[in-house]
Amino acid sequence: MLCFSLCLFLRKFNRQHYNGSSMKDKLLRRITITMAKDRDKFIADELKEIRNQCEGLEGIQLVTCVPDAVAMIIKKTDFKQLKLRLMFPSHYPNEPIISELNSKTLSEKLLDGLQKVCDDECKKFIGNVQVMKMLHFVNKFLEDHKLCVCSSEIAYVKKELLKDCDEVKLRQKTSQIIIKAQQEKYFLNFKLTIPEDYPKTQVQLEIIDHNFPELLKVNFEAQAVEYARQCVQPPLRKKPGDPPFQPKPSMLPVCKYLIGECVKNYPLQKCPMCFCYVLPQNPPEEVSKEKQVERVYCGHLYHHSCLAAYMKKPPFIGGKKCPACGKRIFHEKWKITPELAEARWAHKQARDRELEEVKDFMA
């Protein structure tokens, strides 16, 4: 009986309420319209708030602020800047805002990483205003990650220059990179500080520790600083037709030199004269003056006695050449002209002949 009357009631109800377009559809449409109105009102209120709040913010430029999207440029330095575009989805604020990052200067890999973090972060703000929260989030990320200006250089160093035995530590807060690179029994531990307006200003180098001969360490440091300087200062003699000078990032050239050319190379280098390893095999082994290392202009290493003997032997025309690379040898300790070397050689030969004659005479 109960079943029967329930059936009748339902049939009556359906006749009354579901004639023509269904009640359900009407209801849904009404809810959707109300929600869309709510959404538009919510966004309009938020846009007003954004315009007010952005006005006094340093380094933030509001480019677009319309119901479709909000776009702003966050600029810390000429290099550290990006454009953040936020688009309101159809169920905003009940679903996360859609963000998009662009930068002409920061690396794509860094932006991809930041994009993923942003996509996660905006989920936290569902049901609430999201634009300014996302802006503060990205702004703080740039502030906290001081090394983001050289993220692609760091990636290259890790991938191409360092091996498993080496170490690299990133200090985002102090904008420093600490690297310990080794080869055989030799190591070099150094610190690079990335200045605020990098790459306009060169990276700062400090050698923390090492076990190379002191003379080489001085050389490493001076040469690395010189490479960094060349990245940010125009050459003294400008060639006509050269494009205007643009400062270049100096972190990678310094690392390529210190790691690639020095640490990974010198412990394996052999003297071009005697073909033995130039550096002692067990540092910090004391060596005699003859076996001490001399570094010539081209960068090749020699034993002191090997180089001394080579520099005194002809041919001298056009200067003595490095047998390893063919470049002319320049060295503080052997700063004589080919003519003088020739004259000295002739003088020594004459003396040796005289001595031989004396010996013959005495025999």
Residues that bind Zn ion (CB under 5 A): 271, 273-274, 298, 300, 303, 306, 322, 324-325
Provide, rounded to whole angstroms, the least separation between the CB of residue 287 and Zn ion: 12
Contact partners, residue 31, CB within 8 Å, separation at least 6? none
**Whole-angstrom distance, CA of residue 197 vs CA of residue 194:** 8
The residue assigned the tokens 């001085």 is: 218
Q: Is the dihedral of CA 48, 52, 53, 54 positive or negative?
A: positive
Nearest distance from residue 171's CB to Zn ion, in Å? 37
The distance of closest approach from Cβ of residue 243 to Zn ion in the complex, given in angstroms and rounded to an integer, is 31
What is the rounded distance in angstroms from the CA atom of residue 49 to the CA atom of residue 133?
Answer: 12
Looking at the Cβ atoms of 138 and 301, the one nearer to Zn ion is: 301
Q: Tell me if 146 sits within 8 A of 160, measured CB to CB.
A: no
> Which residue, 54 or 324, has its beta carbon nearer to Zn ion?
324
Residue 221 · residue 231 · CB < 8 Å: no
Cβ-contact 147, 177 below 8 angstroms:
yes
Measured from the CB atom, the residue of 18 and 297 that comes closer to Zn ion is 297
Token representation of residue 62: 């509001």
CB of 215 to Zn ion, least distance (A): 16
**CA distance linking residue 58 with residue 48, whole number of Å:** 19
- With beta carbons less than 8 A apart as the criterion, state whether 297 and 328 touch: yes
Q: What is the nearest approach in angstroms of Zn ion to the Cβ of residue 311? A: 13
Token pair 């702004």 is found at 139
Q: Which is nearer to Zn ion, 194 or 306 (CB)?
A: 306
Minimum distance from residue 276 beta carbon to Zn ion (Å): 6
Q: In sequence order, what are the residues at sequence separation of 6 or more whose Cβ sits closer than 8 angstroms to the Cβ of residue 65? A: 47, 50, 51, 54
- We find the least distance from the C-beta atom of residue 273 to Zn ion, in angstroms, to be 5
Shorter beta-carbon distance to Zn ion: residue 158 or 328 = 328
List all residues 6 or more positions away from 113 whose beta carbon is below 8 Å from its beta carbon: none
CB 178 within 8 A of CB 194: no
For tokens 């130039």, what's the residue?
A: 278
Specify the residue, 170 or 273, whose C-beta has the smaller distance to Zn ion. 273
Amino acid of residue 240: P
Compute the least distance from the CB of residue 162 to Zn ion, in Å.
Answer: 26
Q: State the minimum distance, in angstroms, from the CB of residue 323 to Zn ion.
A: 8
Rounded to 10 degrees, the C-alpha dihedral 96/102/108/112 comes to 0
Decide whether 106 or 271 has the Cβ nearer to Zn ion: 271
Closer CB to Zn ion, 162 or 271, in the complex: 271
Pick between residue 66 and residue 325 the one whose CB is nearest to Zn ion: 325
Q: How far is the C-alpha of 79 from the C-alpha of 350, rounded, in Å?
A: 67
